[in-house]
Amino acid sequence: MYNPWPQVIWTLIGLLTASGLVGLVFGYPFLFMLFATLAYLAWHLKNLSRLEHWLRSPATSYEPPDGAGIWGEVFHRIYLMQQRNRARKRRLAAIISRFQESTSAMTDAMLVLRENNEIEWFNKAATRLMGMQPGKDTGQRIDNLIRNPRFAAYLLTGDYEDGLEMPSPIDEEMILFINIVPYGDTQRLLSARDITRVHLLEQTRRDFVANVSHELRTPLTVLNGYVETLRGEVDDEISPWRRSLD
């Protein structure tokens, strides 16, 4: 890697030597060396001003200003660093774009939450399942939009190992399964799945078991009564019916 500092040092030494020799001719070597040093300093200040103007200008994305010596190297290094940063940002933007495209196609609602529970981003399913409005709800606190005590308590616990079943904020008959996954330093990913059909099937199963239990209870009671009656009529312990009745 090119090191410009030896050139800078030799340039300064050469400038002071030349100005000192010229000053000897006129009898003021130190005065000429002072003027040369001030001129060299003014050149650095000019290039520093050009650097500050280039970094502050919106046109920083274009070619850097021309510079000689160490300043040319500084302009070039900063320009290369900016190009690398822009390339890194483009790759990151492409990754984020692909992530948003893939999550937008999901049937589950996906929301990215900041540390203070503000909504940073959500997909289309969040609008359909939870009523989130694009452009309006971004930046809002999710606990201000979903006013459910169980959801607020689940959000504040910080223990997201178990999910939460709750009605949708836009439809009481729609049941959502909420799950939160922390990631990064302070962000969290909230997902919501429509489990209304599963919930209805589970309710149907419970109703069926309850009905069957109720329907079987009466004949079993009658059968048990007959068995008890027959056991009372069989007095002989050696009777072959006794064991079966018991």
In terms of DSSP H, where are the helices of 57-187? 70-104, 124-130, 142-145, 149-157
191-207 pLDDT tens trace: 999 998 887 888 888 87
**What was the pLDDT predicted at 236?**
61
Strands 171-183 and 187-194: antiparallel
**What was the pLDDT predicted at 73?**
82
Provide the pLDDT confidence category of residue 225 given band limits of 50, 70 and 90. confident
Cβ–Cβ under 8 Å, residues 142 and 117:
yes
**What was the pLDDT predicted at 52?**
84
What the block records as the tokens of 28 is: 């003021």
Cβ–Cβ under 8 Å, residues 153 and 178:
no
Q: Which one has a higher pLDDT value, 236 or 164?
A: 164
Does the structure show a pLDDT above 90 at 190? yes
φ/ψ region of 184 (left if φ > 0, alpha if ψ in -120 to 50, else beta) reads left
**What was the pLDDT predicted at 19?**
84
Which among 101, 186, 169, 187 is positioned nearest to 178, based on CA atoms?
Answer: 169
Does the structure show a pLDDT above 80 at 230? no
Provide the pLDDT confidence category of residue 235 given band limits of 50, 70 and 90. low
Mean pLDDT of the chain: 83
**What was the pLDDT predicted at 5?**
74
79-110 pLDDT tens trace: 888 888 888 988 988 887 887 777 777 888 99
**What was the pLDDT predicted at 239?**
65
Q: Which residues contact 239 (CB under 8 A, 6 or more apart)?
A: none
55-69 pLDDT tens trace: 887 655 567 778 777
**What was the pLDDT predicted at 234?**
62
Q: What is the mean pLDDT of residues 136-146?
A: 91
What the block records as the tokens of 184 is: 């990064």
Provide the pLDDT confidence category of residue 237 given band limits of 50, 70 and 90. low
Alpha carbons 1 and 126: distance in angstroms, whole number: 53
Does the structure show a pLDDT above 90 at 179? yes
**What was the pLDDT predicted at 34?**
87
**What was the pLDDT predicted at 178?**
93
Q: Which one has a higher pLDDT value, 186 or 62?
A: 186
**What was the pLDDT predicted at 103?**
72
**What was the pLDDT predicted at 209?**
79
35-57 pLDDT tens trace: 888 988 888 888 888 888 888 87
